[in-house]
Structure 1
Protein backbone atom coordinates (compact mmCIF):
# COMPACT_ATOMS: atom_id res chain seq x y z
CA UNK A 1 0.00 0.00 0.00
CA UNK A 2 1.57 3.26 -1.17
CA UNK A 3 0.99 6.45 0.79
CA UNK A 4 -0.04 9.17 -1.68
CA UNK A 5 -2.21 11.27 0.62
CA UNK A 6 -1.62 15.00 1.18
CA UNK A 7 0.30 16.26 4.22
CA UNK A 8 -2.83 17.80 5.70
CA UNK A 9 -5.60 15.33 5.06
CA UNK A 10 -9.02 16.94 5.42
CA UNK A 11 -12.42 16.81 3.72
CA UNK A 12 -11.79 13.40 2.18
CA UNK A 13 -13.14 9.87 2.48
CA UNK A 14 -11.57 6.68 1.12
CA UNK A 15 -12.63 3.07 0.99
CA UNK A 16 -10.64 -0.13 1.43
CA UNK A 17 -11.08 -3.88 1.54
CA UNK A 18 -9.25 -6.67 3.34
CA UNK A 19 -9.94 -9.70 1.10
CA UNK A 20 -8.44 -12.24 3.47
CA UNK A 21 -10.80 -11.10 6.25
CA UNK A 22 -13.88 -10.54 4.05
CA UNK A 23 -13.99 -6.97 5.31
CA UNK A 24 -14.69 -3.63 3.69
CA UNK A 25 -14.29 -0.23 5.27
CA UNK A 26 -14.26 3.54 4.99
CA UNK A 27 -12.28 6.22 6.75
CA UNK A 28 -13.12 9.94 6.60
CA UNK A 29 -11.94 13.22 8.02
CA UNK A 30 -13.71 16.59 7.83
CA UNK A 31 -12.27 20.04 8.48
CA UNK A 32 -13.17 23.17 6.49
CA UNK A 33 -16.46 21.53 5.49
CA UNK A 34 -17.44 21.39 9.15
CA UNK A 35 -16.42 25.00 9.66
CA UNK A 36 -18.57 26.14 6.73
CA UNK A 37 -21.63 24.26 7.94
CA UNK A 38 -21.28 25.12 11.62
CA UNK A 39 -20.42 28.78 11.03
CA UNK A 40 -23.86 29.34 9.48
CA UNK A 41 -25.39 28.83 12.93
CA UNK A 42 -24.63 30.09 16.42
CA UNK A 43 -24.68 26.61 17.92
CA UNK A 44 -23.34 26.01 21.44
CA UNK A 45 -20.37 23.66 21.73
CA UNK A 46 -22.41 20.59 22.69
CA UNK A 47 -24.50 20.90 19.52
CA UNK A 48 -21.47 21.63 17.34
CA UNK A 49 -19.79 18.44 18.53
CA UNK A 50 -22.97 16.42 17.95
CA UNK A 51 -23.43 17.79 14.43
CA UNK A 52 -19.73 17.33 13.61
CA UNK A 53 -19.98 13.63 14.49
CA UNK A 54 -23.26 13.27 12.61
CA UNK A 55 -21.79 14.85 9.47
CA UNK A 56 -18.75 12.57 9.69
CA UNK A 57 -21.05 9.55 9.96
CA UNK A 58 -23.04 10.85 6.99
CA UNK A 59 -19.85 11.11 4.91
CA UNK A 60 -18.85 7.54 5.80
CA UNK A 61 -22.23 6.05 4.92
CA UNK A 62 -23.13 8.33 2.02
CA UNK A 63 -19.86 7.63 0.22
CA UNK A 64 -20.88 3.95 -0.08
CA UNK A 65 -23.51 4.93 -2.67
CA UNK A 66 -22.55 3.51 -6.04
CA UNK A 67 -24.54 6.10 -8.00
CA UNK A 68 -23.20 9.65 -7.88
CA UNK A 69 -26.63 11.29 -7.86
CA UNK A 70 -27.95 9.06 -5.11
CA UNK A 71 -28.67 10.58 -1.72
CA UNK A 72 -28.18 9.32 1.82
CA UNK A 73 -30.07 11.01 4.66
CA UNK A 74 -29.51 10.63 8.38
CA UNK A 75 -32.30 11.86 10.63
CA UNK A 76 -32.55 11.67 14.42
CA UNK A 77 -35.89 12.71 15.87
CA UNK A 78 -37.33 12.77 19.37
CA UNK A 79 -40.42 13.66 21.32
CA UNK A 80 -39.67 15.77 24.36
CA UNK A 81 -35.89 15.63 23.94
CA UNK A 82 -33.58 18.63 24.21
CA UNK A 83 -32.64 17.90 20.60
CA UNK A 84 -35.92 17.54 18.73
CA UNK A 85 -34.45 17.03 15.25
CA UNK A 86 -31.07 16.42 13.64
CA UNK A 87 -30.81 16.09 9.86
CA UNK A 88 -27.76 15.50 7.65
CA UNK A 89 -27.51 14.36 4.07
CA UNK A 90 -24.92 13.42 1.45
CA UNK A 91 -25.15 13.72 -2.31
CA UNK A 92 -22.25 13.37 -4.74
CA UNK A 93 -19.65 14.35 -2.13
CA UNK A 94 -21.65 17.29 -0.77
CA UNK A 95 -22.78 17.49 2.84
CA UNK A 96 -25.27 19.59 4.74
CA UNK A 97 -26.89 19.39 8.16
CA UNK A 98 -28.68 21.23 10.94
CA UNK A 99 -30.05 20.71 14.46
CA UNK A 100 -33.22 21.90 16.23
CA UNK A 101 -32.90 22.04 20.01
CA UNK A 102 -34.14 23.67 23.21
CA UNK A 103 -31.42 26.19 24.11
CA UNK A 104 -32.73 26.81 27.64
CA UNK A 105 -32.77 23.15 28.62
CA UNK A 106 -29.41 22.59 26.94
CA UNK A 107 -27.82 25.35 29.03
CA UNK A 108 -28.61 23.33 32.14
CA UNK A 109 -26.45 20.41 30.98
CA UNK A 110 -22.69 20.10 31.23
CA UNK A 111 -20.14 20.31 28.43
CA UNK A 112 -20.31 16.63 27.50
CA UNK A 113 -23.93 15.46 27.78
CA UNK A 114 -24.78 11.87 26.94
CA UNK A 115 -26.78 10.92 23.86
CA UNK A 116 -29.72 10.04 26.11
CA UNK A 117 -29.53 13.42 27.84
CA UNK A 118 -29.80 15.16 24.45
CA UNK A 119 -32.40 12.95 22.77
CA UNK A 120 -34.16 11.13 25.62
CA UNK A 121 -36.49 8.73 23.76
CA UNK A 122 -36.08 8.99 20.00
CA UNK A 123 -35.12 7.13 16.87
CA UNK A 124 -32.47 7.25 14.17
CA UNK A 125 -33.53 6.83 10.54
CA UNK A 126 -30.99 6.17 7.78
CA UNK A 127 -32.27 6.40 4.21
CA UNK A 128 -30.57 5.55 0.92
CA UNK A 129 -32.21 6.94 -2.24
CA UNK A 130 -30.92 5.40 -5.46
CA UNK A 131 -30.73 7.83 -8.38
CA UNK A 132 -31.14 5.48 -11.35
CA UNK A 133 -33.63 2.93 -10.03
CA UNK A 134 -35.47 5.44 -7.78
CA UNK A 135 -35.47 2.78 -5.07
CA UNK A 136 -35.45 3.82 -1.43
CA UNK A 137 -34.04 1.83 1.46
CA UNK A 138 -34.71 2.97 5.01
CA UNK A 139 -33.97 1.54 8.41
CA UNK A 140 -35.06 2.92 11.78
CA UNK A 141 -33.52 2.08 15.14
CA UNK A 142 -34.18 3.50 18.62
CA UNK A 143 -31.74 6.05 19.95
CA UNK A 144 -31.02 4.05 23.06
CA UNK A 145 -27.29 3.54 22.45
CA UNK A 146 -24.49 5.42 24.16
CA UNK A 147 -23.41 7.28 21.01
CA UNK A 148 -24.30 7.96 17.37
CA UNK A 149 -21.64 5.44 16.37
CA UNK A 150 -23.32 2.70 18.40
CA UNK A 151 -26.73 3.65 17.00
CA UNK A 152 -25.36 3.29 13.45
CA UNK A 153 -23.95 -0.13 14.32
CA UNK A 154 -27.41 -1.17 15.55
CA UNK A 155 -28.92 0.03 12.27
CA UNK A 156 -26.71 -2.26 10.17
CA UNK A 157 -27.14 -5.19 12.51
CA UNK A 158 -30.94 -4.89 12.72
CA UNK A 159 -31.78 -3.60 9.24
CA UNK A 160 -29.20 -5.44 7.13
CA UNK A 161 -27.88 -8.17 9.44
CA UNK A 162 -24.31 -7.04 8.81
CA UNK A 163 -21.86 -6.90 11.73
CA UNK A 164 -20.35 -3.42 11.65
CA UNK A 165 -18.03 -1.20 13.63
CA UNK A 166 -18.31 2.59 13.61
CA UNK A 167 -15.82 4.89 15.34
CA UNK A 168 -16.49 8.62 15.42
CA UNK A 169 -14.70 11.53 17.00
CA UNK A 170 -14.71 15.33 16.82
CA UNK A 171 -12.47 17.84 18.57
CA UNK A 172 -11.22 21.36 18.13
CA UNK A 173 -7.85 21.85 16.50
CA UNK A 174 -5.35 23.06 19.11
CA UNK A 175 -3.98 25.80 16.84
CA UNK A 176 -7.01 27.06 14.93
CA UNK A 177 -9.79 26.21 17.37
CA UNK A 178 -11.87 24.87 14.47
CA UNK A 179 -13.61 21.51 14.54
CA UNK A 180 -12.13 18.40 12.93
CA UNK A 181 -14.17 15.22 12.68
CA UNK A 182 -12.89 11.75 11.88
CA UNK A 183 -14.55 8.39 11.43
CA UNK A 184 -13.91 4.72 10.71
CA UNK A 185 -16.52 2.32 9.29
CA UNK A 186 -15.92 -1.44 9.04
CA UNK A 187 -18.25 -4.19 7.81
CA UNK A 188 -17.90 -7.97 7.74
CA UNK A 189 -18.94 -9.80 4.57
CA UNK A 190 -18.27 -13.50 5.31
CA UNK A 191 -18.45 -14.66 1.69
CA UNK A 192 -17.59 -11.36 0.03
CA UNK A 193 -20.03 -9.02 -1.71
CA UNK A 194 -21.86 -11.90 -3.43
CA UNK A 195 -21.72 -14.31 -0.53
CA UNK A 196 -24.29 -16.15 1.51
CA UNK A 197 -27.47 -14.42 2.60
CA UNK A 198 -26.95 -11.80 5.27
CA UNK A 199 -29.43 -13.53 7.56
CA UNK A 200 -26.89 -16.32 7.92
CA UNK A 201 -23.97 -14.11 8.90
CA UNK A 202 -22.22 -15.43 11.98
CA UNK A 203 -21.73 -12.62 14.45
CA UNK A 204 -19.03 -14.60 16.25
CA UNK A 205 -16.94 -15.28 13.16
CA UNK A 206 -13.25 -15.22 14.18
CA UNK A 207 -12.28 -13.16 11.12
CA UNK A 208 -14.71 -10.43 12.14
CA UNK A 209 -13.73 -10.56 15.79
CA UNK A 210 -10.11 -9.98 14.77
CA UNK A 211 -10.92 -6.97 12.55
CA UNK A 212 -13.36 -5.53 15.09
CA UNK A 213 -10.77 -5.74 17.85
CA UNK A 214 -8.20 -3.90 15.75
CA UNK A 215 -10.67 -1.23 14.64
CA UNK A 216 -11.77 -0.62 18.23
CA UNK A 217 -8.26 0.58 19.10
CA UNK A 218 -8.62 3.63 16.84
CA UNK A 219 -9.15 6.70 19.02
CA UNK A 220 -10.41 10.24 18.52
CA UNK A 221 -6.93 11.77 18.58
CA UNK A 222 -5.88 9.74 15.54
CA UNK A 223 -9.14 10.03 13.63
CA UNK A 224 -9.22 13.82 14.04
CA UNK A 225 -5.51 14.47 13.49
CA UNK A 226 -5.17 16.25 10.13
CA UNK A 227 -1.43 15.51 10.02
CA UNK A 228 -2.06 11.76 9.71
CA UNK A 229 -3.02 10.75 6.16
CA UNK A 230 -6.10 8.55 5.92
CA UNK A 231 -4.01 5.84 4.27
CA UNK A 232 -1.73 5.87 7.29
CA UNK A 233 -4.68 5.22 9.60
CA UNK A 234 -5.51 2.10 7.59
CA UNK A 235 -1.86 1.04 7.66
CA UNK A 236 -1.62 1.47 11.42
CA UNK A 237 -4.57 -0.84 11.96
CA UNK A 238 -4.01 -3.52 9.34
CA UNK A 239 -0.33 -3.52 8.39
CA UNK A 240 0.01 -7.18 9.38
CA UNK A 241 -2.70 -8.33 6.97
CA UNK A 242 -1.66 -10.19 3.86
CA UNK A 243 -3.43 -7.75 1.55
CA UNK A 244 -5.22 -4.42 1.98
CA UNK A 245 -6.71 -2.78 -1.11
CA UNK A 246 -7.21 0.98 -0.90
CA UNK A 247 -10.02 2.13 -3.18
CA UNK A 248 -10.59 5.45 -4.87
CA UNK A 249 -11.86 8.13 -2.52
CA UNK A 250 -14.01 11.22 -2.73
CA UNK A 251 -13.42 14.84 -1.85
CA UNK A 252 -16.04 16.33 0.46
CA UNK A 253 -17.64 19.77 0.26
CA UNK A 254 -20.46 21.76 1.80
CA UNK A 255 -23.43 21.66 -0.52
CA UNK A 256 -26.74 23.28 0.31
CA UNK A 257 -29.05 22.80 -2.64
CA UNK A 258 -31.26 25.79 -1.99
CA UNK A 259 -31.37 28.49 -4.68
CA UNK A 260 -33.89 31.13 -5.77
CA UNK A 261 -35.00 29.16 -8.82
CA UNK A 262 -35.67 25.97 -6.86
CA UNK A 263 -37.55 27.81 -4.10
CA UNK A 264 -39.69 29.73 -6.61
CA UNK A 265 -40.49 26.44 -8.33
CA UNK A 266 -41.65 24.88 -5.06
CA UNK A 267 -43.82 27.87 -4.18
CA UNK A 268 -45.33 27.84 -7.67
CA UNK A 269 -46.95 24.49 -6.84
CA UNK A 270 -49.07 26.13 -4.13
CA UNK A 271 -52.48 27.65 -5.01
CA UNK A 272 -52.46 31.40 -5.51
CA UNK A 273 -54.49 32.08 -2.35
CA UNK A 274 -52.03 30.08 -0.21
CA UNK A 275 -49.07 32.02 -1.61
CA UNK A 276 -50.88 35.25 -0.81
CA UNK A 277 -51.34 34.11 2.79
CA UNK A 278 -47.60 33.47 3.07
CA UNK A 279 -46.62 36.94 1.88
CA UNK A 280 -46.11 40.06 3.98
CA UNK A 281 -47.69 43.47 3.41
CA UNK A 282 -45.17 44.20 0.66
CA UNK A 283 -46.17 41.08 -1.22
CA UNK A 284 -42.96 39.20 -0.41
CA UNK A 285 -42.67 35.62 0.81
CA UNK A 286 -39.61 35.22 3.05
CA UNK A 287 -38.17 31.69 2.85
CA UNK A 288 -35.45 30.65 5.29
CA UNK A 289 -33.14 27.72 4.57
CA UNK A 290 -32.58 25.80 7.82
CA UNK A 291 -29.38 24.26 6.44
CA UNK A 292 -27.44 27.38 5.46
CA UNK A 293 -29.46 30.07 7.32
CA UNK A 294 -29.86 32.13 4.16
CA UNK A 295 -33.06 34.09 3.50
CA UNK A 296 -34.70 34.07 0.08
CA UNK A 297 -37.31 36.81 -0.58
CA UNK A 298 -39.75 35.81 -3.32
CA UNK A 299 -42.18 38.38 -4.72
CA UNK A 300 -45.79 37.42 -5.43
CA UNK A 301 -45.44 39.37 -8.65
CA UNK A 302 -42.98 36.74 -9.86
CA UNK A 303 -45.84 34.25 -10.14
CA UNK A 304 -48.06 36.45 -12.31
CA UNK A 305 -48.15 34.95 -15.82
CA UNK A 306 -47.05 37.29 -18.63
CA UNK A 307 -49.83 38.94 -20.63
CA UNK A 308 -50.94 37.17 -23.80
Structure 2
Protein backbone atom coordinates (compact mmCIF):
# COMPACT_ATOMS: atom_id res chain seq x y z
CA UNK A 1 0.00 0.00 0.00
CA UNK A 2 1.54 3.30 -1.12
CA UNK A 3 1.23 6.39 1.08
CA UNK A 4 2.97 9.70 1.62
CA UNK A 5 4.87 9.78 4.90
CA UNK A 6 4.70 13.56 5.00
CA UNK A 7 0.93 13.35 5.34
CA UNK A 8 1.63 11.85 8.76
CA UNK A 9 4.26 14.46 9.61
CA UNK A 10 7.12 12.01 9.11
CA UNK A 11 10.27 12.76 7.14
CA UNK A 12 11.79 9.59 5.64
CA UNK A 13 15.04 8.61 7.32
CA UNK A 14 16.62 8.13 3.89
CA UNK A 15 20.04 6.60 3.36
CA UNK A 16 22.71 6.55 6.06
CA UNK A 17 20.32 6.90 8.98
CA UNK A 18 19.00 4.50 11.60
CA UNK A 19 15.26 4.58 12.32
CA UNK A 20 14.35 3.39 15.85
CA UNK A 21 10.81 2.05 16.19
CA UNK A 22 8.46 0.25 18.54
CA UNK A 23 5.52 -2.09 18.00
CA UNK A 24 3.75 -1.73 21.31
CA UNK A 25 1.11 -4.33 20.45
CA UNK A 26 3.87 -6.95 20.29
CA UNK A 27 6.11 -5.54 23.05
CA UNK A 28 9.03 -5.13 20.68
CA UNK A 29 11.48 -2.36 19.93
CA UNK A 30 13.81 -2.24 17.00
CA UNK A 31 16.06 -0.35 14.65
CA UNK A 32 16.29 -0.34 10.86
CA UNK A 33 18.63 1.33 8.37
CA UNK A 34 19.88 1.49 4.81
CA UNK A 35 23.49 2.54 4.26
CA UNK A 36 24.33 4.13 0.92
CA UNK A 37 27.16 6.68 0.46
CA UNK A 38 28.66 5.82 3.85
CA UNK A 39 29.11 2.13 3.06
CA UNK A 40 30.16 2.87 -0.52
CA UNK A 41 32.82 5.37 0.59
CA UNK A 42 34.29 3.00 3.17
CA UNK A 43 34.41 -0.05 0.88
CA UNK A 44 35.54 1.87 -2.22
CA UNK A 45 38.38 3.44 -0.25
CA UNK A 46 39.79 0.06 0.74
CA UNK A 47 39.27 -1.75 -2.57
CA UNK A 48 39.07 -5.14 -0.86
CA UNK A 49 38.11 -8.27 -2.84
CA UNK A 50 34.32 -8.44 -3.22
CA UNK A 51 33.74 -11.23 -0.65
CA UNK A 52 35.76 -9.32 1.96
CA UNK A 53 33.84 -6.11 1.21
CA UNK A 54 30.52 -7.89 1.62
CA UNK A 55 31.55 -9.41 4.93
CA UNK A 56 32.84 -6.08 6.24
CA UNK A 57 29.62 -4.39 5.08
CA UNK A 58 27.55 -6.79 7.21
CA UNK A 59 29.77 -6.01 10.20
CA UNK A 60 29.28 -2.28 9.60
CA UNK A 61 25.48 -2.67 9.45
CA UNK A 62 25.47 -4.66 12.70
CA UNK A 63 27.72 -2.11 14.40
CA UNK A 64 25.55 0.83 13.32
CA UNK A 65 22.39 -0.90 14.56
CA UNK A 66 23.98 -1.48 17.95
CA UNK A 67 26.19 1.61 18.24
CA UNK A 68 23.42 4.12 17.62
CA UNK A 69 21.61 2.68 20.66
CA UNK A 70 24.25 4.13 23.01
CA UNK A 71 22.70 6.66 25.38
CA UNK A 72 26.01 8.34 26.23
CA UNK A 73 29.13 9.70 24.54
CA UNK A 74 31.23 6.62 23.99
CA UNK A 75 32.42 3.99 21.58
CA UNK A 76 31.10 0.65 20.43
CA UNK A 77 33.64 -1.62 18.74
CA UNK A 78 33.03 -4.90 16.94
CA UNK A 79 36.11 -7.02 16.24
CA UNK A 80 36.64 -10.56 14.99
CA UNK A 81 39.78 -12.65 15.38
CA UNK A 82 39.67 -15.93 13.49
CA UNK A 83 41.73 -18.52 11.64
CA UNK A 84 39.93 -18.09 8.31
CA UNK A 85 40.89 -16.25 5.10
CA UNK A 86 39.53 -13.04 6.67
CA UNK A 87 41.40 -13.06 9.95
CA UNK A 88 40.10 -9.80 11.36
CA UNK A 89 37.25 -7.34 10.97
CA UNK A 90 37.21 -4.12 12.98
CA UNK A 91 34.30 -1.67 13.02
CA UNK A 92 34.45 1.27 15.38
CA UNK A 93 31.42 3.47 16.15
CA UNK A 94 31.83 6.70 18.12
CA UNK A 95 28.60 8.25 19.31
CA UNK A 96 26.64 10.01 18.12
CA UNK A 97 27.31 9.23 14.45
CA UNK A 98 30.87 8.31 13.40
CA UNK A 99 31.73 4.90 11.94
CA UNK A 100 34.97 3.56 10.50
CA UNK A 101 36.03 0.04 9.49
CA UNK A 102 38.81 -2.12 8.10
CA UNK A 103 39.67 -5.78 7.50
CA UNK A 104 42.76 -8.02 7.49
CA UNK A 105 42.85 -10.99 5.15
CA UNK A 106 45.11 -13.40 3.26
CA UNK A 107 44.85 -12.66 -0.47
CA UNK A 108 45.75 -16.19 -1.55
CA UNK A 109 43.29 -17.81 0.85
CA UNK A 110 40.50 -15.45 -0.22
CA UNK A 111 41.25 -16.16 -3.90
CA UNK A 112 41.13 -19.90 -3.17
CA UNK A 113 37.80 -19.50 -1.37
CA UNK A 114 36.41 -17.62 -4.37
CA UNK A 115 37.62 -20.32 -6.77
CA UNK A 116 35.97 -23.01 -4.66
CA UNK A 117 32.76 -21.05 -4.17
CA UNK A 118 33.24 -20.90 -0.39
CA UNK A 119 31.87 -17.40 0.04
CA UNK A 120 29.57 -17.73 3.02
CA UNK A 121 30.57 -15.77 6.14
CA UNK A 122 31.61 -18.89 8.06
CA UNK A 123 33.82 -19.97 5.12
CA UNK A 124 35.67 -16.66 5.16
CA UNK A 125 35.84 -16.17 8.92
CA UNK A 126 36.67 -19.70 10.02
CA UNK A 127 36.81 -20.28 13.75
CA UNK A 128 37.61 -17.81 16.48
CA UNK A 129 35.63 -15.22 18.35
CA UNK A 130 33.85 -11.92 17.95
CA UNK A 131 34.18 -9.25 20.62
CA UNK A 132 31.74 -6.41 21.20
CA UNK A 133 33.21 -3.68 23.39
CA UNK A 134 31.45 -0.68 24.92
CA UNK A 135 33.79 2.09 26.09
CA UNK A 136 32.09 4.83 28.12
CA UNK A 137 35.19 7.01 28.26
CA UNK A 138 37.74 7.94 30.90
CA UNK A 139 37.15 6.84 34.49
CA UNK A 140 34.39 4.46 33.37
CA UNK A 141 34.60 0.67 33.21
CA UNK A 142 34.65 -0.93 29.78
CA UNK A 143 32.26 -3.74 29.00
CA UNK A 144 33.09 -6.55 26.59
CA UNK A 145 31.05 -9.50 25.41
CA UNK A 146 32.52 -12.43 23.47
CA UNK A 147 30.75 -14.77 21.05
CA UNK A 148 32.39 -17.88 19.63
CA UNK A 149 32.56 -18.01 15.85
CA UNK A 150 32.09 -21.63 14.90
CA UNK A 151 30.45 -21.60 11.50
CA UNK A 152 27.69 -19.11 12.22
CA UNK A 153 26.58 -15.95 10.42
CA UNK A 154 26.90 -12.45 11.84
CA UNK A 155 23.12 -12.44 12.19
CA UNK A 156 23.37 -15.49 14.44
CA UNK A 157 26.22 -13.82 16.33
CA UNK A 158 23.86 -10.99 17.32
CA UNK A 159 21.15 -13.44 18.40
CA UNK A 160 23.57 -15.38 20.58
CA UNK A 161 25.12 -12.26 22.05
CA UNK A 162 21.82 -10.88 23.29
CA UNK A 163 20.52 -14.29 24.38
CA UNK A 164 23.58 -15.00 26.51
CA UNK A 165 24.79 -11.58 27.64
CA UNK A 166 21.55 -9.64 27.94
CA UNK A 167 18.89 -12.40 28.01
CA UNK A 168 16.91 -10.44 25.41
CA UNK A 169 15.20 -12.37 22.58
CA UNK A 170 16.51 -10.77 19.38
CA UNK A 171 15.93 -11.24 15.67
CA UNK A 172 18.07 -9.56 13.02
CA UNK A 173 18.21 -9.46 9.24
CA UNK A 174 21.01 -7.96 7.13
CA UNK A 175 21.78 -7.77 3.42
CA UNK A 176 24.45 -6.28 1.15
CA UNK A 177 24.09 -5.38 -2.52
CA UNK A 178 25.57 -3.40 -5.40
CA UNK A 179 23.78 -0.85 -7.56
CA UNK A 180 24.57 0.31 -11.08
CA UNK A 181 24.83 4.04 -11.56
CA UNK A 182 22.01 5.11 -13.95
CA UNK A 183 23.17 5.10 -17.54
CA UNK A 184 26.29 3.04 -16.87
CA UNK A 185 27.08 -0.28 -18.50
CA UNK A 186 26.94 -3.48 -16.49
CA UNK A 187 30.12 -3.98 -14.51
CA UNK A 188 30.96 -0.28 -14.41
CA UNK A 189 30.26 2.45 -11.86
CA UNK A 190 28.88 0.13 -9.24
CA UNK A 191 28.14 1.43 -5.77
CA UNK A 192 27.58 -0.47 -2.55
CA UNK A 193 24.42 -0.46 -0.49
CA UNK A 194 23.56 -2.38 2.69
CA UNK A 195 20.63 -2.63 5.04
CA UNK A 196 19.49 -4.24 8.23
CA UNK A 197 16.68 -4.58 10.74
CA UNK A 198 16.80 -5.67 14.37
CA UNK A 199 13.88 -6.31 16.72
CA UNK A 200 14.00 -7.17 20.42
CA UNK A 201 11.31 -8.50 22.74
CA UNK A 202 11.06 -6.16 25.74
CA UNK A 203 7.77 -6.78 27.58
CA UNK A 204 6.92 -4.98 30.80
CA UNK A 205 6.82 -8.32 32.63
CA UNK A 206 10.43 -9.71 32.58
CA UNK A 207 9.28 -13.31 33.08
CA UNK A 208 7.77 -13.22 29.58
CA UNK A 209 11.31 -12.98 28.20
CA UNK A 210 12.27 -16.43 29.50
CA UNK A 211 14.24 -18.48 27.00
CA UNK A 212 15.21 -22.16 26.83
CA UNK A 213 18.43 -23.03 28.61
CA UNK A 214 21.66 -23.12 26.67
CA UNK A 215 23.09 -26.52 25.80
CA UNK A 216 23.75 -28.25 29.16
CA UNK A 217 27.36 -28.99 28.15
CA UNK A 218 29.04 -30.91 31.00
CA UNK A 219 25.85 -31.23 33.08
CA UNK A 220 25.14 -34.66 34.65
CA UNK A 221 24.20 -37.41 32.22
CA UNK A 222 20.56 -37.29 31.30
CA UNK A 223 20.17 -33.56 32.00
CA UNK A 224 18.42 -31.66 29.27
CA UNK A 225 17.55 -28.09 28.39
CA UNK A 226 14.21 -26.76 29.51
CA UNK A 227 11.64 -26.67 26.71
CA UNK A 228 9.79 -23.36 27.14
CA UNK A 229 6.93 -22.23 24.98
CA UNK A 230 7.71 -19.07 23.04
CA UNK A 231 5.65 -16.02 23.93
CA UNK A 232 2.95 -15.53 21.28
CA UNK A 233 3.76 -11.85 20.77
CA UNK A 234 7.45 -12.56 20.24
CA UNK A 235 6.68 -15.51 17.94
CA UNK A 236 4.57 -13.20 15.77
CA UNK A 237 7.16 -10.42 15.68
CA UNK A 238 10.00 -12.80 14.86
CA UNK A 239 7.99 -14.52 12.14
CA UNK A 240 7.19 -11.16 10.52
CA UNK A 241 10.84 -10.08 10.46
CA UNK A 242 11.83 -13.43 8.95
CA UNK A 243 9.65 -12.59 5.93
CA UNK A 244 11.91 -9.65 5.02
CA UNK A 245 13.75 -10.37 1.76
CA UNK A 246 17.31 -9.29 1.03
CA UNK A 247 16.23 -7.09 -1.87
CA UNK A 248 13.81 -5.24 0.42
CA UNK A 249 16.64 -4.35 2.79
CA UNK A 250 18.81 -2.89 0.01
CA UNK A 251 16.17 -1.32 -2.25
CA UNK A 252 16.95 2.43 -2.34
CA UNK A 253 13.39 3.11 -3.49
CA UNK A 254 11.84 1.32 -0.50
CA UNK A 255 12.11 3.44 2.62
CA UNK A 256 12.58 1.76 5.98
CA UNK A 257 9.30 3.37 7.02
CA UNK A 258 7.36 1.69 4.21
CA UNK A 259 8.99 -1.63 5.02
CA UNK A 260 8.06 -1.27 8.69
CA UNK A 261 4.48 -0.45 7.67
CA UNK A 262 4.38 -3.55 5.47
CA UNK A 263 5.44 -5.69 8.41
CA UNK A 264 3.59 -4.20 11.34
CA UNK A 265 0.65 -2.11 10.06
CA UNK A 266 -1.90 -4.44 11.64
CA UNK A 267 -0.34 -3.92 15.08
CA UNK A 268 0.73 -0.31 14.64
CA UNK A 269 4.33 0.88 14.55
CA UNK A 270 5.66 3.93 16.37
CA UNK A 271 8.61 5.76 14.77
CA UNK A 272 11.28 7.67 16.66
CA UNK A 273 13.71 10.32 15.41
CA UNK A 274 16.18 9.00 12.86
CA UNK A 275 19.88 8.96 13.79
CA UNK A 276 22.34 9.90 11.06
CA UNK A 277 25.46 7.79 10.47
CA UNK A 278 28.61 9.32 8.96
CA UNK A 279 31.91 8.05 7.58
CA UNK A 280 34.35 9.64 10.02
CA UNK A 281 37.77 8.58 11.28
CA UNK A 282 39.19 9.56 14.66
CA UNK A 283 42.79 9.70 13.46
CA UNK A 284 44.76 12.96 13.48
CA UNK A 285 48.36 14.03 13.13
CA UNK A 286 48.63 14.75 16.86
CA UNK A 287 47.11 11.38 17.76
CA UNK A 288 49.48 9.49 15.44
CA UNK A 289 52.48 11.44 16.74
CA UNK A 290 51.48 10.55 20.28
CA UNK A 291 51.32 6.85 19.40
CA UNK A 292 54.74 6.99 17.68
CA UNK A 293 56.28 8.47 20.83
CA UNK A 294 55.63 5.15 22.60
CA UNK A 295 57.33 3.02 19.91
CA UNK A 296 60.84 1.60 20.19
CA UNK A 297 63.52 2.92 17.83
CA UNK A 298 63.52 -0.36 15.86
CA UNK A 299 59.79 -0.02 15.22
CA UNK A 300 60.21 3.58 14.08
CA UNK A 301 62.99 2.56 11.68
CA UNK A 302 60.69 -0.02 10.04
CA UNK A 303 58.36 2.83 9.06
CA UNK A 304 61.02 4.97 7.40
CA UNK A 305 60.76 5.99 3.78
CA UNK A 306 63.95 7.91 3.05
CA UNK A 307 64.21 10.72 5.57
CA UNK A 308 60.55 10.41 6.59
CA UNK A 309 58.62 8.22 8.98
CA UNK A 310 55.36 7.37 7.24
CA UNK A 311 52.19 6.10 8.90
CA UNK A 312 49.02 5.26 6.98
CA UNK A 313 45.73 4.95 8.87
CA UNK A 314 44.27 1.49 8.32
CA UNK A 315 40.74 2.87 8.61
CA UNK A 316 40.69 5.93 6.36
CA UNK A 317 44.00 5.55 4.46
CA UNK A 318 45.16 9.02 5.54
CA UNK A 319 48.94 9.30 5.20
CA UNK A 320 51.02 11.05 7.86
CA UNK A 321 54.70 11.96 7.33
CA UNK A 322 57.13 12.91 10.07
CA UNK A 323 60.78 13.97 9.97
CA UNK A 324 62.77 10.86 10.79
CA UNK A 325 65.42 12.88 12.64
CA UNK A 326 62.99 14.46 15.12
Q: TM-score, normalised by structure 2?
A: 0.83
1:217 to 2:222 alignment: no
Instruction: String of CA shifts for 1:73-131, please: whole Å, max 9, x gaps.
Output: 1111113x111100001112111111111111111223661222111111111112224
Structure 1 residues 196 and 61: CA distance shift in structure 2, 3 A: same
Instruction: String of CA shifts for 1:136-178, please: whole Å, max 9, x gaps.
Output: 2211111125421111111111111111011000001144521
Equivalences for residues 113-152 of structure 1 within 5 A: 113-131=119-137, 134-152=140-158
Q: TM-score, normalised by structure 1?
A: 0.87
Give the alignment's Cα RMSD to 1 decimal.
Answer: 2.4
The CA distance in 2 between the partners of 1:15 and 1:281, in whole Å, is 48
Aligned 8 A contact 2:126 2:151 in 1: no
| Unpaired segments ≥5 residues, structure 1 | 303-308
1:20 positional shift: 2.5
Structure 1 residues 197 and 65: CA distance shift in structure 2, 3 A: farther
Structure 1 residues 134 and 199: CA distance shift in structure 2, 3 A: farther
Equivalences for residues 1-308 of structure 1 within 5 A: 2=8, 4-6=10-12, 9-67=14-72, 69-79=73-83, 81-91=84-94, 92-110=96-114, 113-131=119-137, 134-175=140-181, 177-191=190-204, 196=206, 200=210, 204-241=230-267, 243-270=268-295, 273=297, 277-278=301-302, 280=304, 282-302=306-326
The CA distance in 1 between the partners of 2:284 and 2:207, in whole Å, is 44
Structure 1 residues 100 and 203: CA distance shift in structure 2, 3 A: farther
Aligned 8 A contact 1:31 1:180 in 2: yes
1:207 positional shift: 1.0
Aligned to 2:190, what secondary structure does the other structure show?
coil
The CA distance in 2 between the partners of 1:281 and 1:146, in whole Å, is 42
Aligned 8 A contact 2:208 2:231 in 1: no
1:274 positional shift: 5.8
| Count of residue pairs brought into register by the alignment | 294
| Unpaired segments ≥5 residues, structure 2 | 182-188, 212-227
1:190 positional shift: 2.4
Aligned 8 A contact 2:123 2:151 in 1: no
